[in-house]
Structure 1
């Protein structure tokens, strides 16, 4: 069964604080959707509203066309991991999953399947209270998978994982989406989402700032910039600006070049830049199209939505 998450016009106030201010987006099957934003942007509140843990003042949040509270055997419809520490520490990993499975009419066989699926086979009989954060994350994901749901919601699933675990998580999330599931992942690790997510919902101050594909966002953020390395930056700048380009970086008084020989050029293609430098005999060692990182794109989108900033720290531009 394929299902979507549909969030429409959510508003939620806690006292004088507006946590959600018209939050609207859709998580579609067959892809990993990254859910990102600064602290206080409304991510956790949105996920709690979707799961019926908080009630919205206005708007709706539906899973497969129905509110979560109206789902029978909800683990068969949506699996969620919001807090990896939400477990009884004296229970073994297997027993923790068994009582969840029994509440949904699922058997012990399914428990053993998900334990192996998340790589906890050798730790199944250990008490969960002694688990590392990374192991608790795996146990929480196993719980989310118990009902083989078409929708998954995971909050910071890579938190606490070692490098091997992070690589596993990356491939695991993509495999779940490839099976036709709708996967919503909240994370602060932009480098992980860049390699994992197909789509991004960027939020700030309780609203959606951007709802776009990762590829589209990176293309926009790259902005047609070309990176140039040259041992003669002044000569290169003169030739390129005369041709109508804008040049920033070392020696220009603007930008943040990565070295004395680094320039960033906009307004000309890489091929045109190479031709001009050859024409004026300006030496260069590299001309390459700039590809923005997801972190750069995210910081640009959310620079005005950061609620908490240390004294003296300016918004990223």
Structure 2
């Protein structure tokens, strides 16, 4: 089966609420694709439609060119993590995985293989009702991998993980994409996907706001801005603002300047005798790119 997800013109309403408003995007193999947006943007609804759990009013969602409901042995085609807490509390994690394996005719050793890959260790033999949120997430990831699927859909998988767990998951996602899988990861925070996603789909109010490579988004958000380090922050801000620049504080002694080239910033501060120790082209973070996109989308008339 081809490892792709194709979403075309999805529309979905729940009563008076529009959850999806013509959403379209494609997830291709070999990279992590982030589905990013604030709460209520339509991320979870889109994933539920892809998995056949919600029926769209319009549009379609295909996995490997077929609707999810048409897949035989679906866990061998698509692995999904939507709700890590959806567990029978009296059953051990290993028994949960064994049940999933047997439902698809997979050998028992497959449960132990994904237990190891998810870093569960001896915790897999404890009852699920005693699991912490982080362990539940790891078990959910193990369950998603049980059928060795070419496509993965993970809805906010970083929730409940500590800093070490976040770093581990980022590495695992890169590994899975490197194996040729199509990996779709939803998150309300762009920062969670920093250094992990190669492509990002930004959504808001049920529609796609941006669909681009991470490098393109960062470059667009960085363009024309200058990073300035100065011990005289207030003096520098006043001088630059009077010259027509837009200035933002980024640290105790650092500023980001938009609207003036680095050479003009240097010359202006030199004339005003404002001390500074560094001027360089500013490289935006993925989070900054996201905030700029959502700010533009929220402006009156945007997208009309």
TM-score normalised per structure 2:
0.90
Q: Identify the residue that residue 283 of structure 2 maps to in structure 1.
A: 291
SS at match of 2:245: strand
Distance in 1, Cα, partners of 2:290 & 2:249: 18
Task: State the distance in 1 between where 2:258 and 2:295 align.
Answer: 22
Report 1:17-28 matches (<5 A).
Answer: 17-28=17-28
Residue in structure 2 matched with residue 205 of structure 1 by the alignment: 205
Provide the C-alpha distance between the structure 2 equivalents of 1:126 and 1:70, rounded to a whole number of angstroms.
35
Over residues 126-149 of structure 1, what are the superposed CA-to-partner deviations in whole Å (9 max), with x where a residue is unaligned? 111110000000000000001100
Aligned pairs (5 A) from 1:231-246: 231=231, 246=244
Corresponding residue for 1:161?
161
Report the Cα distance in structure 2 between the residues aligned to 1:187 and 1:148, rounded to whole angstroms: 23
CA–CA separation in structure 1 for the residues paired with 2:77 and 2:236: 60
Instruction: Check conservation: 1:205, 1:305, Cα contact below 8 A.
Output: no
SS at 2:105's partner residue? coil
Give how far 1:40 is off: 1.0
Give the equivalent residue in structure 2 for 1:248. Answer: 246
Alpha-carbon contact 2:50-2:68 (below 8 Å) kept: yes
Measured in 1, the distance between the counterparts of 2:138 and 2:21 equals 33
Pairing 1:264–2:262 present: no
SS of the residue aligned with 2:194?
Answer: helix
Say whether residues 1:51 and 2:44 are aligned partners. Answer: no
What is the count of residue pairs matched by the alignment? 298
Q: Aligned partners of 1:241 and 1:123: how far apart in 2?
A: 57
What secondary structure sits across from 2:10 in the alignment? strand
Paired residues for 1:107-146 under 5 Å: 107-146=107-146
* Partner SS state of residue 195, structure 1: coil
- Quick check: 2:245–2:260 contact (8 Å CA) kept in 1? no
Structure 1 pair 119/240, CA: closer, same or farther in 2 (3 Å)?
closer
Deviation at 1:283, TM superposition (A): 2.9
TM-superposed CA distance for 1:197, in Å, is 0.7
The structure-2 alpha-carbon separation of the partners of 1:289 and 1:72, relative to structure 1 and needing over 3 Å to count, comes to same
TM-score by length of 1: 0.86
CA drift of 1:273 comes to 4.0
1:227 aligns with 2:222: no
What is the RMSD of the two structures over their aligned residues, measured on CA atoms?
A: 2.4
CA distance in 2: counterparts of 1:188 and 1:161, whole angstroms:
15
Q: Give the whole-Å Cα distance in 2 for the aligned partners of 1:97 and 1:237.
A: 58
Aligned to 2:301: none
Query: In 2, are the aligned partners of 1:38 and 1:302 still within 8 Å (CA)?
Result: no
CA distance in structure 2 between the partners assigned to 1:262 and 1:164 by the alignment: 29
Structure-2 separation of matches of 1:145 and 1:232: 54
**Range with greater deviation from structure 2 (32-41 or 290-299):** 290-299
Partner residue in 1 for 2:181:
181
Contact 1:247/1:264, CA 8 A, preserved across alignment:
no
In 1, Cα distance between the equivalents of 2:117 and 2:192? Answer: 21
